[in-house]
């Protein structure tokens, strides 16, 4: 590349110089974070106050910094990386030569003294060996020899155990208990399992690991792929995603999977001439033959005494299995076999311990949150087996609580946890799609629109907010009342608004049945006695998880108290006409196509006797002459007869703003409304006497 002038190397050196201030500590261990723009100490940096770092954070820079020094000829980078490694070695436990997990960067005291090969410490040991391979410094090999290497038997056993976990959950959860139950359900698409699969295949040549790699690839495509890439798993049990894709996924996962399946001729170079960094970047081995930018050993470091490489060094290494078993393809299989059932034995999936049943072997299909109905006895029985308790609250809502210890089996407990997770996500989704309340307004006499009931909307059917007129019609009871089967009184429901009771089936199913019967709308009344919109939060009806495009009529939900008003009105007046709309309408605001009294004969909404003179004839206009059903209002019609009381609309209170009307429903009963009108008429009579 004749056009290249070292631009990338210049940028790499600039980045290294920006990282160097992090090593400005009394111990030489770097700060865990540094602001590349503002440095360490400036107020904008928002860093420099940390006191602890992990062993891997401080000891996993020697490869990159040494390579940068040898490419640029500047020894400063390798110097600081070696100094940090030397300090960690100085602070080791002298009897075991092990190091802790977390250390104070100023004092060198161990914050966490536990040691291992897990997160926060694993790449420290990895870089000791790789630093020896890349740089040729025997000091790193002597330190690494404190760790047993090449022990392939436990590697095969551990990989097989983890492979069985991935078969169960598709991915490895971040943490699981000793009996293989999920503890932390997240999985950020970590590549370590794919990396181990690749190295075990190289060590054994067993095609079994090709199958394991294929399962990794299939699970990524099936469960993690999204339109813009691959998403981390929020919960391996439910398959939900997080909006993140970490850099190590692209840097390592696909690289190891490619190397696992690639033949030698597929590689453009000899992979054996490179060393992988912990992020799977490649560094060439010829760096060890490059003139070393820095050879001085830190005076504070205490080198290991046994420097010569004799046979005693192999006490820390395990024999090569390819030499011991050159033609034994069953070697790895014999190691895997006892481990294969350990997951199922500790976490049984059926009554037969140690067996892995197919999904068809369940005693019941898993219940999905979108299918759950609180009044379905079979669903309640499934919830009980899953350890889920159902509690009916006073406001009509249902609360679900799970106790895994009360489940019938481990599989049922897992299904219960999945059900709860789905229910939480379904609830969150419904809250995001929250619709404003709707109104059911009784417009027939003797109500004339004065009774407005707050109704819950449906997430399907006709959108009343896009209908200027709403839907107006007479109310009729559906038979059966729950609307969960084919309607038997189709002739009665045709052209009317069906009144149904909640329960026994999905809301969308009720809407379909009454729509097929010819209803122009539907009202579902809560079956929980005492529930009211005054005390309960807004309730909106969700779909059934299927397409609801076939539902074209509006469906509204009334709590029990509000629904009882319509039921009582039906019992007393037989014909009750209502208006389903997105808001309450003024009495003078008529929907399209609605019949109204002539304007001159309509009592004002504030006071009947203020503008309408007593005794003045109120004859219908020309427009109303052709309508035999038009109303005529005379002062004599306001008389009340004891044997047949008839009430006409009286004065109304000052109308509230429409946004408040939308949020507030009346809780008047029919008796209280009639009582109010009697008081209005009595006041009107008194006014008439005063004028005379």
- Per-residue model confidence as pLDDT tens digits over 289-303: 775 544 444 444 444
Sole residue written with tokens 């995001």: 432
3-state helix, strand, coil in the chain (%, to 5): 40, 10, 45
Helices (H), 517-638: 560-573, 608-611, 622-625
- Is residue 588 pLDDT above 70, yes or no? no
Nearest-5° Cα angle at 196, 347 to 316: 105
Nearest-5° Cα angle at 459, 495 to 472: 25
Residue among 143, 176, 146 at smallest CA distance from 161? 176
Q: What confidence category does residue 607 fall into, taking pLDDT thresholds of 50, 70 and 90?
A: very low
Q: In terms of CATH architecture, what is 438-581?
A: 3-Layer(bba) Sandwich (3.50)
Compute the distance between CA of residue 19 and CA of residue 39 in angstroms, rounded to an integer: 8
Nearest-5° Cα angle at 652, 649 to 654: 165
pLDDT digits (tens, 9 = 90+) for 21-66: 999 999 999 999 999 999 988 888 888 889 999 999 999 999 999 9
- Is residue 97 pLDDT above 50, yes or no? yes
Give the sign of the dihedral formed by CA 652, CA 656, CA 659, CA 662: negative
Compute the distance between CA of residue 566 and CA of residue 440 in angstroms, rounded to an integer: 10
pLDDT at 214: 96
Compute the distance between CA of residue 618 and CA of residue 616 in angstroms, rounded to an integer: 6
Compute the distance between CA of residue 157 and CA of residue 31 in angstroms, rounded to an integer: 37
Instruction: Note whether 117 and 330 are within 8 A (CB).
Output: no
* pTM for this entry: 0.50
More confident residue, 433 or 60: 60
pLDDT digits (tens, 9 = 90+) for 196-228: 999 999 988 899 999 999 999 999 999 999 998
The 3-class secondary structure across 389-426, one letter per residue, is: EEEECCCCCEEEEECHHHCCCHHHHHHHHHHHHHHHHH
Residue among 386, 447, 384 at smallest CA distance from 415? 386
Compute the distance between CA of residue 462 and CA of residue 465 in angstroms, rounded to an integer: 9
pLDDT at 382: 85
Sole residue written with tokens 């009639």: 674
Q: What's the distance, CA 322 to chain centroid?
A: 48
Residue 670 — φ and ψ, nearest 5°?
A: -60, -40
- Is residue 378 pLDDT above 90, yes or no? no
Instruction: Note whether 38 and 45 are within 8 A (CB).
Output: yes
- Is residue 339 pLDDT above 80, yes or no? no
Tokens standing for 338?
């006892």
pLDDT at 338: 75
pLDDT at 130: 93
Arithmetic mean of pLDDT, 438-463:
85
Q: What's the distance, CA 657 to chain centroid?
A: 38
More confident residue, 14 or 332: 14
pLDDT digits (tens, 9 = 90+) for 574-583: 788 988 988 7
Q: What confidence category does residue 262 fall into, taking pLDDT thresholds of 50, 70 and 90?
A: very high
| Cβ neighbour number for residue 305 with a 10 Å cutoff | 6
Delimit the CATH 3.50.30.30 region(s) of the chain: 438-581
Residue among 97, 108, 16 at smallest CA distance from 58? 108
**Is 278 a known ligand-binding residue?**
yes
pLDDT at 75: 94
Compute the distance between CA of residue 422 and CA of residue 409 in angstroms, rounded to an integer: 20
pLDDT digits (tens, 9 = 90+) for 232-247: 999 998 888 999 999 9
């Amino acid at each position: 590349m004749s056009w290249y002038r070292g631009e990338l190397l210049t940028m790499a050196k600039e980045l290294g110089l920006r990282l160097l201030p992090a090593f400005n500590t009394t111990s030489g261990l770097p700060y865990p974070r540094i602001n590349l723009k503002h440095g360490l100490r400036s107020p904008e940096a928002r860093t420099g106050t940390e006191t602890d770092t992990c062993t891997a954070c401080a000891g996993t820079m020697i490869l990159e910094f040494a390579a940068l020094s040898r490419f640029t000829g500047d020894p400063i980078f390798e110097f600081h990386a070696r100094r940090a490694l030397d300090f960690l070695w100085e602070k080791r436990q002298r009897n075991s030569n092990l190091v802790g997990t977390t250390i104070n960067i100023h004092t060198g005291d161990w914050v966490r003294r536990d040691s291992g090969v897990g997160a926060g410490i694993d790449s420290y040991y990895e870089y000791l060996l790789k630093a020896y391979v890349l740089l040729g410094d025997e000091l790193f090999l002597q330190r690494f020899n404190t760790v047993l290497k090449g022990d392939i038997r436990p590697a095969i056993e551990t990989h097989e155990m983890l492979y069985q976990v991935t078969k169960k959950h598709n991915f490895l959860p971040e943490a699981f208990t000793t009996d293989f139950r999920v503890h932390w359900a997240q999985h950020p698409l970590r590549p370590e399992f794919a990396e181990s699969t690749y190295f075990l295949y190289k060590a054994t040549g067993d095609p079994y690991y090709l199958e394991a790699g294929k399962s990794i690839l299939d699970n990524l495509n099936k469960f993690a792929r999204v339109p813009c890439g691959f998403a981390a798993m929020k919960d391996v049990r439910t398959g939900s995603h997080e909006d993140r894709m970490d850099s190590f996924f692209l840097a390592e996962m696909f690289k190891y999977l490619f190397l696992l399946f690639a033949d030698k001729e597929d590689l453009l170079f000899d992979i054996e001439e490179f060393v992988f960094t912990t992020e799977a970047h490649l560094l060439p081995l010829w760096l060890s033959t490059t003139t070393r930018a820095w050879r001085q050993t830190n005076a504070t470091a205490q080198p290991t005494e046994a420097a010569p490489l004799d046979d005693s060094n192999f006490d820390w290494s395990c024999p090569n299995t390819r030499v011991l078993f050159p033609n034994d393809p069953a070697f790895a299989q014999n190691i895997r076999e006892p481990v294969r059932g350990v997951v199922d034995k500790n976490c049984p999936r059926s009554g037969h311990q140690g067996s892995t049943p197919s999904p068809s072997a369940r005693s019941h299909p898993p219940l999905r949150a979108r299918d759950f109905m609180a009044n379905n006895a079979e669903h309640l029985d499934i919830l009980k087996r899953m350890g889920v308790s159902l509690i009916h609250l006073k406001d009509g809502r249902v609360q679900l609580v799970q106790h895994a210890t009360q489940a019938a089996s481990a599989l049922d407990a897992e299904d219960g946890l999945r059900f709860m997770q789905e229910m939480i996500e379904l609830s969150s989704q419904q809250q995001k799609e929250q619709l404003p309340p709707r109104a059911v307004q009784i417009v027939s006499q003797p109500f004339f629109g004065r009774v407005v009931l707050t109704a819950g909307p449906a997430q399907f059917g006709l959108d009343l907010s896009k209908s200027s007129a709403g839907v107006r019609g007479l109310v009729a009871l559906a038979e059966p009342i729950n609307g969960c089967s084919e309607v038997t009184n189709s002739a009665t429901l045709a052209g009317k608004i069906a009144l149904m009771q909640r329960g026994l089936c999905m809301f969308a199913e009720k809407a379909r049945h009454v729509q097929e019967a010819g209803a122009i709308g539907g009202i579902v009344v809560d079956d929980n006695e005492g529930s009211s919109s005054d005390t309960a939060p807004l309730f909106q009806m969700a779909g059934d998880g299927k397409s609801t495009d076939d539902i074209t009529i509006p469906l509204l939900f009334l709590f029990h108290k509000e629904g009882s008003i319509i039921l009582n009105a039906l019992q007393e007046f037989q014909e009750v006409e209502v208006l389903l709309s997105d808001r309450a309408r003024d009495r003078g605001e008529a929907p399209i196509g609605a019949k109204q009294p002539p304007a001159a004969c309509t009592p004002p909404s504030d006071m009947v006797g203020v503008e309408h003179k007593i005794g003045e004839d109120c004859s219908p206009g020309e427009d109303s002459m052709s309508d035999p059903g038009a109303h005529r209002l005379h002062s004599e019609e306001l008389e009340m007869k004891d044997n047949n009381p008839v009430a006409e609309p009286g004065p109304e209170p000052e109308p509230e703003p429409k946004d408040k009307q939308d949020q507030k429903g009346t809780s008047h009963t029919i008796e209280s409304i009639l009582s109010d009108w009697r008081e209005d008429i009595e006041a009107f009579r008194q006014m008439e006497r005063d004028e005379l």
